[in-house]
Amino acid sequence: MTTRSQIIQRKKIYEIPPTRKLFLGIVELLIALVILLGFVINTEPNTLTRFVMTPGGIDIGKMPDWVIPTLPTLIILTIIPALIGLYQLVRGFGRATNGMVGLSALCLIFGFITWQASGTSVNLAGMFTSAVLLAVPITLGAFSGVLSERAGVVNIAIEGMMLMGSMIGSLIGSITNNAWIGLVGAILSGLLLSLIHAILSIKYKINQVISGTVINIFSAGMTAFISQKYLQTNQALNSPPLFTRIPIPGLAKIPLLGPMFFNTNVFVYLTFILLIVIQVALFSTRWGLRLRSVGEHPRAADTLGIDVIRTRYEAVLLSGIVAGLAGGFFTLGSVGRFNEGMTAGKGFIGLAAMIFGNWRPLGAMGAGLIFGFADAIGSKLLLLGSAIPPQIMAMAPYLITMIVLAGFIGKGDAPAADGEPYEKE
């Protein structure tokens, strides 16, 4: 046990390594160059870009379209990263470095969209709304991870729990013809799988990654098996009712934000409610303090009379509930039907979002949204007829995750006892 040295001086050195300074400055100048050569010089003067600020299919909360002159906008968007890049090279931004790189990247993305949509229109609000929905399963998956890992249990089984949840949600929803009962089914299936994870990893202390892998393989096999055996031969078992949009009176009318957050799917509401609930529960309640203590230093918690095993069970089961809920989103909140492998790796991406968000609900949600946005922007650009091949465009969310992780986020602070079984002596 190495003792951490005490802080000698509170003055911190926000020194960015010179190579990094140089590198980021060049990156920012390159961004400016790309906007200039790629967009500005290909734009006719006097064209307009129209951004529609109301998503389609919405009749409340309308907002006037936002029309901007394309060329001047693009020129401004060139100047911003250029100035940032120059300042970065000459002086450096210190603490604000990452933010400035982010700003430059935003200029690039916004410039791209503005340019692509020059002379026509693009529904910006729709894109945002889609991004939020695309972020939902990832964010819920990340929440699931936060809950369990904050108590020191690694949960890579989120994908499996989500897959099972989506299948059971569809099945039960179809049988009962009730989306809510279906959702309960999805949640229960997540709960059951997480119970297995808990028993294996907490009681039998088997390696948590192995335990998670067990559940992932089991779920993939079992859902495919049941799907082939029953759902495909009997469509009636695979057509649950769908949760539809529920506008929140008053709030739904707010332009732009209304459609995004207050006139949407029940799962979006649940995600935001969970964000607040988990954030508050973890950091402001007795229960959360104890849960985190178990994830940081289970022996210390034990000596204070906290039941480590029980707390971990609770956390893992809650994690399963949230993962099951996320699973339910696919069949009950999105498409109303199960097909094999339909979670398409969202659980793993959720896990990435959790790490990315530093094991915090708010961070996890941010990461989920970055992912959702990358995905939505990619589709939008393809739709506008982008020159980038769709396969390459589809890489965007993954590339962005990697770049952000590599460049702009420090090493995460995983809970200290994450992944370690607790051995009571």
* Shortest Å distance, C-beta 137 to another protein: 7
First to last CA, the chain: 20
* Shortest Å distance, C-beta 38 to another protein: 17
256: left (phi over 0), alpha (psi -120 to 50) or beta: left
How many Å apart are CA 46 and CA 68, to the nearest integer?
10
The nearer residue to another protein, 71 or 164, going by C-beta atoms, is 164
* Shortest Å distance, C-beta 80 to another protein: 26
* Shortest Å distance, C-beta 328 to another protein: 12
Beta strands, E only, 214-259: 246-247
The nearer residue to another protein, 178 or 339, going by C-beta atoms, is 339
- DSSP code for 8: S
Q: Which two tokens stand for residue 143?
A: 């929440």
The nearer residue to another protein, 184 or 355, going by C-beta atoms, is 355
How far, in whole angstroms, is CA 176 from its chain's centroid? 31
How many Å apart are CA 209 and CA 200, to the nearest integer?
11
Query: At what angle are helices 361-383 and 124-150 packed, to 10 degrees?
Result: 150
* Shortest Å distance, C-beta 127 to another protein: 7
The nearer residue to another protein, 71 or 404, going by C-beta atoms, is 404
The nearer residue to another protein, 80 or 134, going by C-beta atoms, is 134
* Residue 369 CB-half CA count within 13 A: 16
For residue 43, give the H/E element and its range.
none
**Would you call 122 helix, strand, or coil by DSSP?**
strand
**Would you call 32 helix, strand, or coil by DSSP?**
helix
The nearer residue to another protein, 44 or 413, going by C-beta atoms, is 413
* Shortest Å distance, C-beta 72 to another protein: 24
